[in-house]
Amino acid sequence: MHARDAPGGLDYAAAALLSDRTRSAAANGLRGLLMGSFDVVPGVSGGTVALVVGIYERLIDSIRAVVDAFLGLVTADLDRVRAGVREVDWWLVVPLVAGIGIAIVSLARVIEPVLDEESGNPEEARAVFFGLICGSLVVPWRRGGGLRGARRRLLAIAAAAVAFVLAGLPETEVDDPARLAVLGAAMIAICAMILPGVSGSFILLVLGMYAPTIAAVNDRDVGYLAVFAVGAAIGLGAFSKVLDWFLINRHDATMAVLLGLMVGSLRALWPYLDADRGLEAPPGDASVLVEVALALGAFAFVTAVIAIARRGVGDEVVFGRGQGPGAAAPAVADRSRPPALDERPDAARRH
């Protein structure tokens, strides 16, 4: 018996679909909170979280679609606007952005004193994030098919070297930055924020814009934040289309680069850094045991979360189709055709 023939069949199908979407939106809101929490920490990337929780490709594709819709609006191409709007995964984007915004606004005041070199606990905080990132490396490794081939290994090594150098750049600070400088810094930082392993907050530190930006968030400086948002939108729009192309056409090679960026960025999270971000050896006292325990605990936590996710939704959802050496490359969706009936969200209503 078809859903349309069963008593209340359509109502049941519609209710089930709405229930699934509601649960998905709630989960994506939590993912946004997690991404925003990481984004405010210099040296940690929200893009890393998106990759680990399995939404990275969907997020980049939705950003690309939003950009297409906006460009259609600018050029008065209504067909392009409608096509872009249809391709956006709104049940992902809206709760995710809301979660990121809530986390940044609420945690900015908390993170700042924790990371303060004089009054906070920066070594312990970096140890936790070091462990979290180490535990997460298995995700891009498996999603990229285990770095099969010399070219992908070279790409990963080169990306790690670039990230390692960037993570060692010294901090600067700009007092009362010009609005044009804020615009440019936002364009650069947002590109880093969507790349796993490259911290947008750390880029702001290097550019001298981190302290003014955190202060603007805490003080609700609408003018500063508006300029920053415009710069972020411009940078995100341009970079997301490039990244989306690589994820579709060079998926495993792109994952190799993202893995390398995550590995190289660990330099910024090494617990023992001098004033110029140089690496130092661990101190010869009992405090090092605390940092080691925190790093191992964070590593174990991420490993447990990934194991639970694999049990709950399976390897294909967590790691994609490229699950290791010998696995098939991930299938690429054909955007040139309309989705089949059973791929559409309202398919249940049409049976």
pLDDT per residue, tens digit, the chain (351 aa), is 454 445 555 555 555 555 677 888 888 888 888 888 777 776 667 777 888 777 888 888 898 898 888 888 888 888 989 998 999 999 899 999 999 888 888 876 776 666 666 666 788 888 888 888 888 888 888 877 778 888 999 999 999 999 898 888 777 777 788 889 999 999 988 887 777 766 777 788 778 888 888 888 888 889 999 999 999 888 888 888 888 888 889 888 988 998 888 888 888 888 888 877 788 888 888 889 999 999 999 899 888 878 887 777 677 766 765 444 334 444 444 444 334 333 334 444 334
pLDDT value at residue 340 = 35
- Yes or no: say if 146 and 139 are a contact pair by the CB < 8 Å rule: no
**Within a domain: residue 34?**
yes
Q: Kindly state whether residue 3 falls inside one of the protein's structural domains.
A: no
Q: How far apart are CA 225 and CA 156, in angstroms?
A: 35
Domain that holds residue 29: 10-323
pLDDT for 149? 85
pLDDT at 44: 67
Domain assignment of residue 108, yes or no: yes
Total domains in the chain come to 1
Structure tokens that stand for 275 in this block: 């004033």
Is 137 part of any domain?
A: yes
Residue 329 lies in a domain: no
Q: pLDDT value at position 344?
A: 37
Whether 251 is in a domain gets the answer yes
Q: Is residue 348 part of a domain?
A: no
